[in-house]
Amino acid sequence: MKKLANLLETKQVSSQEIVEHYLGEITRQEPMLNAFITVDQEGALTQAQAADQRRAENRPLSPWDGIPIAIKDNISTRGLNTTCASRFLANYRPLFDATVVRYLKDAGLPILGKTNLDEFAMGSSTEYSAYGVTCNPHDRSRVSGGSSGGSAAAVAAGEIPWSLGSDTGGSIRQPASFCGVVGLKPTYGWVSRYGLVALAPSLDQIGPLATSVEDTAILFSLLAGADPKDASSAAAQTFEVPAWDERCIKGLKIGVPEEFFGKGLHPEVEQAVRRGLRALEEQGAVLVPISLSTNEYAIDTYLTLVTAEASSSLARYDGVRYGERVGAQDSNTMFAKSRAAGFGPEVKRRIILGTYVLSASHYEAYYEQAQRVRTLIRQDVLEAFRHVDVIITPTTPTAAFRIGAKQSPLEMYLSDLFTAMANLSGIPALSVPCGKDSKGLPLGMQIMGKHFSEALLFRVGHFVEKTVGIRGCCR
């Protein structure tokens, strides 16, 4: 990205040319990938021309002025459809920009379009999108992961240099891992959620995806900061991209939790992660075997809380103000029928589950219990960080699976096995490519850190990327 910024700075290339290049890639690849729900050709070109005008007048808004970006379609963009990949919001055009979108516009980034996801970010493959699955650019018979599958695939395929995703239980990291790109789930509260259509507000976090650790860090620096419009946003500073100094690896204590290297983990994934760990060790890092025993309960806890919050967050979609209305004798039947017609199967499943775990007779056994376990998981994680600087695990148990391969919802839920813990405890987690398997599919390493330790995660990730990573997009 620095190269691109330099070309713009020295006027060797214009923003319009860059945007046209990516629009061309989109036109060429979209029929095969389906990474975008909306492409805003006209809007992006207008913004590019404005960026070029600013460059001509030597008053760029930022070094990245004129470099386009794509936004996951559950993040509000003023005047540009924000569908959440749901039929309910097929024609929903927000009246306001999400805070992060405003930040990007303030930095001069043209918004090229809105990327595909599982409906309301519920899923791990984009197969639950009302607009069809996004294929994995490395193997189009496979999924791109999810829910931010569109954002990851578009970056991997070179349709866009970087993108925004959202991560509630792994929705940035898992598709980043599947598509061979870098993705960050930031510390809860460091990036404003204002304008992110809620799945589970206590876990949701917007984050960057890009082809390199450095670009991911640059994009993160545009997003991070306290937002007075988001009461859950932390009173945190802005983020500065760190210097890429490898000396920090020496003596770094890396926790390697045994629970993440056991049953269910594909041997090739384990090999790739261990290779990365060895490289770090050779650079002077100290590998510390640790135990995160509460991870056993992470998926159950996560599902209980996500479904509970989602059942409430999604109750407003009624067929009157949103979506298609299905006629009926009385208003309650009309609401019910409209919801039955408007939501896809996974959303319905989670609403039913969430309603159940919050109901008076089950609240204590499920929701309250899950809250207690969440506290234990957080304590477990914080305790681990008293002894180590970062924790490294595989991002996912396997490489990208085939479209249609996961038949049961439970199988799909297990995709979040290694990632949900970071959301439950609010810590940052970075997924960095760490090689490919024998089929040529990318594999990802997850680096987790203490709250607000993103700079360290990027440094470690940068080293991993240099030694065992895969660079560039696949074409």
Partner 1 sequence: MISYDTVIGLEIHVALLTQSKFLCSCKASFGAPPNSQCCPICLGLPGALPLINEKAVEYATKAGIALNCQINHFSRFDRKNYFYPDLPKAYQITQDTFPLCTKGFLEYYVDDRLVKTEITRIHMEEEAGKLIHSGASIVDSEYSLVDYNRAGIPLIEIVTAPDIHHPQQARLFLEQLRLLLSYIGVSDTKMEEGSLRCDANISLKPSGSNVLGTKVEIKNLNSFRALERALEYEERRQSQVLNQGGIIRQESCTWDDRTGKTMPMRSKGDAPDYRIFPEPDLPPLHLDPVWVELIRATIPELPLERLKRFEAEYGLSRYEATFLVNYPDFGELFFALACQCRAYKAIVNLLMGDYARLAREKGHLDPQRLAELLTIVDEGQITQTQAKDVLEDLFSSHLSAREIVQEKGLEVMGDPESLRPILRQVLGANSELVHRFQNGDTKLLGFFVGQVMRVTQGKADPGVVNRLLRDELGK
Residues forming the site for partner 1 (CB under 8 A): 75-76, 82, 84, 89, 92, 94-96, 98, 193-198, 200-202, 228-232, 308-309, 311-312, 315-316, 318, 320, 330-331, 335, 355, 358-360, 363, 367, 371
The candidate with the shortest Cα–Cα distance to 280, out of 304, 252, 309, 312, is 252
Report CA dihedral (260, 265, 271, 277) to the nearest 10 degrees. -10
Considering the complex, state which of residue 224 and residue 464 has its C-beta at the smaller distance from partner 1.
Answer: 224
Considering the complex, state which of residue 13 and residue 328 has its C-beta at the smaller distance from partner 1.
Answer: 328
Contact 316, 198 (CB under 8 A): no
SS3 content of the chain, % helix, strand, coil (to 5): 45, 15, 40
Active site residue 147: yes
Find the shortest distance in angstroms from Cβ 178 to partner 1.
26
Active site residue 425: no
Considering the complex, state which of residue 310 and residue 430 has its C-beta at the smaller distance from partner 1.
Answer: 310
List CB contacts of 199: < 8 A, sequence separation 6 or more. 74, 120, 121, 122, 166, 168, 306, 309, 310, 313
Looking at residue 293, the DSSP 8-state letter turns out to be: G
Find the shortest distance in angstroms from Cβ 384 to partner 1.
25
Find the shortest distance in angstroms from Cβ 443 to partner 1.
33
The candidate with the shortest Cα–Cα distance to 129, out of 156, 89, 167, 98, is 89
Find the shortest distance in angstroms from Cβ 340 to partner 1.
14
Tell whether the torsion through CA atoms of 175, 303, 185 and 422 is positive or negative. negative
User: Of residues 72, 114, 185, 406, which has the active-site annotation?
Assistant: 72
Find the shortest distance in angstroms from Cβ 170 to partner 1.
19
Q: Is the peptide bond before 124 cis (omega within 30 degrees of 0)?
A: no
Considering the complex, state which of residue 243 and residue 360 has its C-beta at the smaller distance from partner 1.
Answer: 360
Considering the complex, state which of residue 226 and residue 256 has its C-beta at the smaller distance from partner 1.
Answer: 226
The candidate with the shortest Cα–Cα distance to 298, out of 374, 362, 351, is 374
User: Of residues 14, 144, 147, 425, which has the active-site annotation?
Assistant: 147
Active site residue 253: no
Report CA dihedral (135, 141, 147, 150) to the nearest 10 degrees. -10
CA-to-CA dists, residue 330 to 23, 300, 325, 348, 452, angstroms: 48, 38, 12, 22, 52
Considering the complex, state which of residue 98 and residue 277 has its C-beta at the smaller distance from partner 1.
Answer: 98
Q: How far apart are CA 390 and CA 428, in angstroms?
A: 10
Per-residue b or e along 115-142, where b marks 16 or more CB atoms closer than 10 Å to that residue's CB = bbbbbbbbbbbbbbbbbebbbbbbbeeb
Find the shortest distance in angstroms from Cβ 359 to partner 1.
5
Report, as residue numbers or ranges, the catalytic residues.
72, 147, 171
